[in-house]
Structure 1
Amino acid sequence: MIKLYDYWRSSAAYRVRIALNLKRVPYESQDVALLEGVHRAPENLARNPQGFVPTLEVDGEPITQSLAIIDYLDALYPDPPMVPRDPLARARVLAQALVIAADIHPINNLRILKRLESQFGADQAAKDDWYRHWIIEGFTALEQLAEAGAGPLLGGDKPNLADVCLVPQMFNARRFKIPLEAFPRLVAADAAANAIAEIAAAQPDRVRPAA
């Protein structure tokens, strides 16, 4: 049995939902309400010592970190592949994905924003400005890394790990009202990805628990 410990608006959990859907892997979802502090509860810390989501539990064995989870899924369910086999192409896909997963997302997540408030007295406007700054910086680089003419998606005609990371980050960019005119390739790739039913089904508004 596969169980995903999820939070509807978590970018990292969103990535894993997309990968599970693309690979057509059936799973059970368990909500971990971040805003209510459930991620810090002993039972979540027992499965994820960082107190994060997502955690994928496979036959009782927990796997943490979204890219590690996706790598596991890619090894077990290789179709469709999330990264190419060719070493150079693989490195380029990983570089695109890591612009988001390693450089944008970690410094914009909830715990960092809370720390900005508690340690430095940042108000909501300051936190929003921080958030927008790092997305724009990362997207500026990613727009250049996106291969021109390769296809509607970052992965060409099929989504890959870079698309799986891009879609949640574009959702966040729109939530924070970031102008996207400077990123036409990213906007096009995001639109093409969200036209795929399996990716659309992972959207936060479609998986948000009922109040």
Structure 2
Amino acid sequence: MRTSFACLMKPVLHGYFRSSCSWRVRIAFALKGIDYDQVPVNLIKDGGQQITAQYKALNPMQQVPAVTIDGMTLSQSLAIIQYVDETRPGPRLLPADPKQRAKVRMICDLIASGIQPLQNLYVMQKIGTDKVQWAQHFISRGFEALEFILKQTAGKYCVGDEISMADICLAPQVYNAERFKVDVDQFPTIKQLNETLLELEAFKESHPARQPDTPDDLRI
């Protein structure tokens, strides 16, 4: 049974406009109709606001996002999304059917464990001059596997015709791929799904180009 938390304080999302993990949480909140506050954590300014002692006390991994919700602090985007799915009304982000749910989790793990961590900011700072080629290699490698899987699972969305946590993970990763100049045309299923998702209001309002901390020259 899902519990009503309507009487509690609004969640607070500590994130960065261009962080794909932060965007995942923004999408989930938008799909669920959750009102929340944002506290920007600039990953670049002053060497990175995520490495301050104040933020480390909030998230010991010194990453974004971190969400304060229902009297606790959660990090790791998928844990946050699953918590709000289990406790808030609105569209289900994980299918009721166990087989469909397993497919969603497989796609999420492929992106969140097998692609995104290899091209996040901390890794890129360690790579040096070859960082673009590094990112392109690992995104393309991951997308080859993802394209194969999605050809089998996709309907209108990543798994069938209901939006899910898999879609929440896909769009931000395609955004990253485009930032690193990966030719997404090589992956027609991924490209089509992403185009469909970006037409949804929840994906539009949560887009990196529309956040409070988005630089003016990147706004749309």
**Matching residue's letter, 1:173:** A
For the pair 1:96 / 2:107, whether they are aligned, the reply is: yes
CA–CA separation in structure 1 for the residues paired with 2:54 and 2:196: 38
- The correspondence for 2:117, drawn from 78, 81, 106, is 106
Residue in 2 that maps onto 1:120: none
> Which structure 1 residue ranges, 4+ long, deviate > 2 Å from structure 2?
147-152, 155-158
CA–CA separation in structure 1 for the residues paired with 2:189 and 2:199: 15
- The correspondence for 1:169, drawn from 170, 173, 178, is 173
Report the secondary structure of 1:181's partner residue: helix
CA–CA separation in structure 1 for the residues paired with 2:49 and 2:24: 20
CA–CA separation in structure 2 for the residues paired with 1:143 and 1:59: 37
- The correspondence for 1:194, drawn from 176, 185, 198, is 198
Once the two structures are TM-superposed, the CA of residue 88 in structure 1 deviates from its matched residue by 1.6
Report the secondary structure of 2:186's partner residue: coil
CA–CA separation in structure 2 for the residues paired with 1:150 and 1:45: 39
Once the two structures are TM-superposed, the CA of residue 208 in structure 1 deviates from its matched residue by 4.8
Residue in 2 that maps onto 1:87: 98
Taking only aligned residues, the RMSD between alpha carbons, in angstroms, comes to 1.5
* Structure 2 spans left out of the alignment, 5+ residues: 1-8, 216-220
Q: Is the 8 A contact 1:15 1:165 kept in 2?
A: yes
CA–CA separation in structure 1 for the residues paired with 2:69 and 2:106: 28
Once the two structures are TM-superposed, the CA of residue 157 in structure 1 deviates from its matched residue by 2.7
CA–CA separation in structure 2 for the residues paired with 1:149 and 1:48: 35
Aligned residues: 204
Measured against aligned partners, the alpha-carbon deviations of 1:8-66 in whole angstroms (never above 9, x if no partner) come to 00010010000000000000000000012100111111110111110110144211100
Quick one: percent identity of the two aligned structures?
A: 36
For the pair 1:5 / 2:9, whether they are aligned, the reply is: no
The alignment's TM-score, normalised by the length of structure 2, stands at 0.88
The alignment's TM-score, normalised by the length of structure 1, stands at 0.92
**Matching residue's letter, 1:98:** D
Write the mapping of 1:173-188 to structure 2, written as runs, cut at 5 A.
173-188=177-192
